[in-house]
């Protein structure tokens, strides 16, 4: 675990240097989907402050096992979130990184109000590749969507998230990540009250390109933790 973590951090630093960026401006989010609670414990001991999970049920089960971690570890929801699981997600996760519709955003805001949570930090998902299989807002509709979601009373929109095609050339990856960065910059210019500090993009197969294109967070599973158990 520690050796993999050192290798990932070195790769992030090298990619940041190529782009003239400070490596400290890029956060590594371990993706613990499919790994047992024991691996989450190792992640915390390795000095990471947060983990990403794709499923509400799985995260809920792991949190029950790992209560001893208390507030030392933040949990991010990074997968598609069904609206009927919004209440549980608001209670479980520090941040929702995959808000892919205005309807979901409204539901999350309402659920936060119902449990007395002042605000839920979120990222808005952008479909910068145009793939039908990907969730999120088209780049052309993203600014309007972010404006609507930012106005909701119990959400704090920290930035954007995107997923690149699984099989893409370096040129295609640069294009997808670059479009997302430009979209974030446009939101910053046009929308008052928009935080815009976070740009979550890049996974195990493409995170170095994402860093070169401005990612502030990369979501790493196998590159950091190895192959998932069967």
Domain membership of residue 106 as a residue range = 2-225
d(CA 210, CA 154): 30
d(CA 17, CA 113): 43
Instruction: Indicate whether 61 belongs to any domain.
Output: yes
d(CA 210, CA 27): 12
pTM of the model: 0.95
d(CA 176, CA 99): 19
pLDDT tens sequence across 101-149: 999 999 999 999 999 999 999 999 999 999 888 999 999 999 999 999 9
pLDDT tens sequence across 206-217: 999 999 999 999
Give the pLDDT confidence score for residue 133 in this predicted structure.
Answer: 86
Instruction: Indicate whether 188 belongs to any domain.
Output: yes
d(CA 112, CA 139): 27
H or E, element range at 199: strand 198-200
Residue 1 reports pLDDT greater than 90:
no
Beta bridge partners of 53: 77
Give the pLDDT confidence score for residue 70 in this predicted structure.
Answer: 61
| Structural domain count, the chain | 1
Beta bridge partners of 146: none
Instruction: Indicate whether 114 belongs to any domain.
Output: yes
Are the beta carbons of 112 and 155 closer than 8 angstroms? yes
97: helix, coil or strand? strand
Residue 230 reports pLDDT greater than 70:
no
Give the pLDDT confidence score for residue 2 in this predicted structure.
Answer: 81
d(CA 75, CA 58): 12
CATH code for position 106: 3.20.20.10
Instruction: Indicate whether 102 belongs to any domain.
Output: yes
Instruction: Indicate whether 230 belongs to any domain.
Output: no
């Amino acid at each position: 675990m520690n050796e993999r973590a050192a290798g990932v951090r070195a790769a992030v630093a090298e990619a940041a240097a190529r782009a003239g960026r400070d490596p400290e401006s890029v956060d590594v989010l371990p993706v613990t989907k499919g790994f047992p609670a024991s691996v989450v414990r190792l992640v915390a001991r390795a000095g990471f402050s947060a983990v990403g999970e794709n499923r509400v049920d799985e995260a809920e089960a792991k949190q029950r096992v790992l209560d001893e971690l208390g507030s030392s570890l933040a949990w991010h929801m990074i997968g598609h979130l069904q609206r009927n699981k919004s209440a549980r997600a608001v209670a479980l996760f520090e941040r929702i990184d995959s808000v892919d519709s205005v309807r979901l955003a409204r539901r999350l805001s309402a659920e936060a109000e119902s449990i007395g949570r002042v605000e839920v930090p979120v990222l808005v998902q952008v479909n910068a590749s145009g793939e039908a299989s990907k969730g999120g807002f088209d780049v052309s509709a993203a600014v309007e969507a972010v404006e609507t979601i930012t106005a909701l009373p119990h959400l704090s929109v920290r930035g954007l998230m995107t997923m690149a095609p699984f099989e893409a050339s370096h040129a295609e990856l640069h294009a997808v990540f670059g479009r997302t960065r430009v979209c974030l910059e446009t939101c910053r210019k046009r929308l008052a009250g928009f935080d815009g500090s976070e740009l979550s993009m890049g996974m195990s197969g493409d995170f170095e390109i994402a860093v070169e294109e401005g990612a502030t967070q990369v979501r790493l599973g196998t590159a950091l933790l190895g192959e998932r158990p069967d």
